Amino acid sequence: EHPFEAKIARLNIAVALVAVGIGGLFGLLQAWFRADFVRSFFSPTQYYAILTAHGVLMALVFTTFFTVGLFTWGVTRSLGRGFHDRRVTWGWFTLMTLGPILSFVSVLGELVSWIPLHATVLYTFYAPLEASPTFYVGLALLVVGSWGAGVDFLWSLYDWQQHNPDTRIPLQTFMAVATMLLWFLCSAGVAIEVVFFLLPWSLGWIPAVNPLLTRTLFWYFGHAVVYFWLLPAYFVWYSLLPKFSGGRLLSDSLARVVFLLFLLLSTPVGLHHQFSDPGISQGLKFVQMVSTYFILLPSLMTAFTVVASMEHGARQRGGTGRLSWLRALPWENPAFSGCALAGLIFAAGGFGGMVNAGLNINAMIHNTIWVPGHFHLTVGTAVALTFMAVTYWLLPQLTGKRLRHRTLAAVQPYLWFVGMVVMSNAMHREGLAGVPRRTSLPQYSQVTFNLPITGLGETHLQLVGGAALLFVSLCCFLVVVLQTWRGERGAMPLAVNGHVPEPLSGADAGPGILDDFRLWFAIAVLLVVIAYGIPIAQMIQHGLFAPGSAPIPA
Ligand code: HAS
């Protein structure tokens, strides 16, 4: 059934796994560098190249490819039909794959002397840091390719609706399309930044860029992109975790409302990354702080639904009591335990997010290693561990091969969980003591950082120990996946049809207007115009290309 789409899903997941493998190795080097183990082997510039490669491969490449692969499976399965035109599909997959190769080679230029390129601009790549044009072209290809995937999903939906005009959109397709609409809306910001400013600047066509304007365009994208990473994990938590738990999702409509809230609220909040930037009035920052607190709502709703659906599953399996039902859950199944542990960690990461979002308290943690602590819990675990967990369930379907090394697979999520708790605890605590993020450190070697309980020696040890556990866990995951892939063909039927149980309260219990994507997308655009119209207009007044950080009156 749909072997072509199974192949496309497989290929996307394969590229994602290559990215996570190489990116993970660079991550280990990062932790060693931080703890002074390998500092003398690398120059400061090489440190930034390694950090750039780690961030780009993990946060941009792994996430985007895995999402597109997962959604290819979900859309095909839930609509019961394949893509419209294979040439289009091959086209976007090729663009998406060429892009990261180009960007990665540009980063390698800093580590390999015969490559005449450079890119030490980190995964946030905003000005005034400048990379070789190839780095930006590569990222642009990745984004444009992923837009092509979004168009393919919309096209499938359109075809399906022609034959099913009065039927509610299947939930998995609804979630995938809502996520891709959010992606179209937010990535427009980074596309403008790259195509009209950074690329012409690095080619020498324009002498300067307005750093405030380009940073704002970046962060317009840069916060919403975190929900582009998170929503595929929510896709799994809503549609598959209830099944892994042995039960059913509570409510289909609630899931739709959550995804629509993300579509509406994810983008008009990016200024919370710029609380410390001059040139943006406090009033505008305050407004976006308030919107940030609204975006907590769909995640808090998710926390309720996820736990309630897990409890439903546990009770189906004979679980009883107020909390002892937890024991009835299939903790030995890595697809389940990975998702549940990812959720648990996300509760802590989300709490950190609430701290970050406070306009005043942000000053305490901004640009400290607290922030990497936060995002290793969110994207580095809530998202990454969920992706690994679902791979254990999805891969046998997509390859027609049986999962191998089941014991290794069963242990892997726990190793990741412990490694991340240890590493991110150290990062948060060091951050509170003011230890900066993203620095090759010589200029800070004379500074004493006072940690409340112990000293940097202890937290550095935790950082390295945690990172080592994470690396071992990643290796276990990759061994299981590779060995499964190399296994005997035909052990399982090759199909894109894994059974997903219907929610307890189905789609028809909710209003049909939830499926009106045109309406919701239009409101999302309107909110963006309201939130960003004034700050962008003010910045442009100070010159499109001229340095424009002069203070702007409130
Ligand atoms: Fe964030 C910085 C605010 C969520 C990623 N964030 C970052 C950066 C990244 C990132 C990568 O306001 C750094 C960017 C850089 O390099 O400079 N973040 C938030 C807020 C949320 C949030 C308010 N972030 C995320 C997610 C990410 C992510 C999700 C990736 C996927 N973040 C900020 C701010 C900054 C920031 C500032 C800038 C800091 C600075 O100054 O630089 C919220 O969306 C969080 C809401 C989440 C919750 C948790 C709900 C819990 C759930 C789990 C339930 C399941 C359970 C399982 C309990 C309210 C859904 C039960 C299990 C059993 C076994 C029973």
| Atom of ligand 1 at shortest range from CA of 358 | 12
> How confident is the model at residue 553, as a pLDDT?
47
End-to-end CA distance of the chain: 60
d(CA 226, CA 123): 13
CA angle 344, 385, 459 (to 5 degrees): 70
Query: Catalytic: 499?
Result: no
Please state, in angstroms and rounded to a whole number, the distance separating the CA atoms of residues 122 and 126: 9
pLDDT at residue 451, as a whole number: 82
**Contact, 16 vs 61, CB < 8 A?**
yes
pLDDT of residue 443: 59
**Looking at 375, 387, 392, 417, which residue is catalytic?**
375
Q: What is the pLDDT of residue 39?
A: 73
Task: Give residue 192's pLDDT.
Answer: 96
Cα(337)–Cα(344) distance, integer angstroms: 10
CB under 8 Å to 407, separation ≥6 — which residues? none
Ordered alpha helix ranges (H), 366-450: 370-377, 384-399, 406-432
Three-state SS string over 139-196 comes to HHHHHHHHHHHHHHHHHHHHHHHHHCCCCCCCHHHHHHHHHHHHHHHHHHHHHHHHHH
Position 56 scores a pLDDT of 97
Tell which phi-psi region holds residue 511, choosing left (phi > 0), alpha (psi between -120 and 50) or beta: beta
- Residue 163 falls in the annotated catalytic set: no
* CB contact set of 203 (below 8 Å; sequence gap of 6+): 133
Is residue 438 annotated as part of the catalytic site, yes or no? yes
Please compute, for residue 308, the number of CA atoms within 13 A of its CA located in the half-sphere on the CB side: 13
Residue ranges and CATH numbers for the domains of the chain are 3-541 (1.20.210.10)
Beta bridge partner(s), residue 251: 505
What's the CA gap between 413 and 388, in Å, rounded? 8
Ligand 1 atom nearest to CA at 383: 31
Per the CB < 8 A criterion, the answer to whether 249 and 305 are in contact is yes
State in Å: Cα 470 to ligand 1 middle: 20
Q: Which amino acid is at 391?
A: T
Whole-number pLDDT of residue 493: 62
Phi, psi of 523 (to 5 degrees): -65, -40
Q: Whose CA is nearest to atom 42 of ligand 1?
A: 366
pLDDT given for residue 456 in this prediction = 83
Write phi, then psi, for 232 (nearest 5 degrees): -60, -35
- How far, in Å, is the centroid of ligand 1 from the Cα of 384? 13
Retrieve residue 120's tokens: 């030490």
pLDDT tens per residue across all 554 residues of the chain: 789 999 999 999 999 999 999 999 999 998 888 777 777 788 888 889 999 999 999 999 999 999 999 999 999 999 999 999 999 999 999 999 999 999 999 999 988 989 999 999 999 999 999 999 999 999 999 999 999 999 999 999 999 999 999 899 999 999 999 999 999 999 999 999 999 999 999 999 998 899 999 999 999 999 999 999 999 999 999 999 999 999 999 999 999 999 999 999 999 999 999 999 998 999 999 999 999 999 999 999 999 999 999 999 999 999 999 999 999 999 999 999 999 999 999 999 999 999 999 999 999 999 999 999 999 999 999 999 999 999 999 999 999 999 999 999 999 999 999 999 999 999 999 999 999 998 876 557 778 888 877 888 889 899 999 999 999 999 999 999 999 999 987 766 656 667 788 999 988 999 999 999 999 999 999 999 999 999 999 999 888 886 644 444 44
* Cα 497 from Cα 506, distance rounded (Å): 20
Greatest pairwise CA separation for the chain in angstroms: 70
Distance 418 CA to ligand 1 centre (A): 19
Catalytic one among 215, 374, 428, 460? Answer: 374
Q: Which atom of ligand 1 is nearest to the CA of 354?
A: 23
Ligand 1 environment, Cβ below 6 A: 124, 226, 229-230, 272-273, 292, 295-296, 299-300, 302-303, 306-307, 340, 343-344, 346-347, 350, 353-354, 356-357, 362, 366, 371, 374-375, 378-379, 383
For residue 331, the CA-to-ligand 1 centroid distance in Å is 25
User: Under a CB-based contact definition with an 8 Å cutoff, are residues 110 and 46 in contact?
Assistant: yes
Position 97 scores a pLDDT of 98
Helix (H, G, I), strand (E, B) or coil at 290: helix
Residue 428 annotated in active site:
no
Task: Say what the pLDDT of residue 259 is.
Answer: 98
pLDDT at 72: 98
Question: Which residue lies with its CA nearest to atom 55 of ligand 1?
Answer: 343
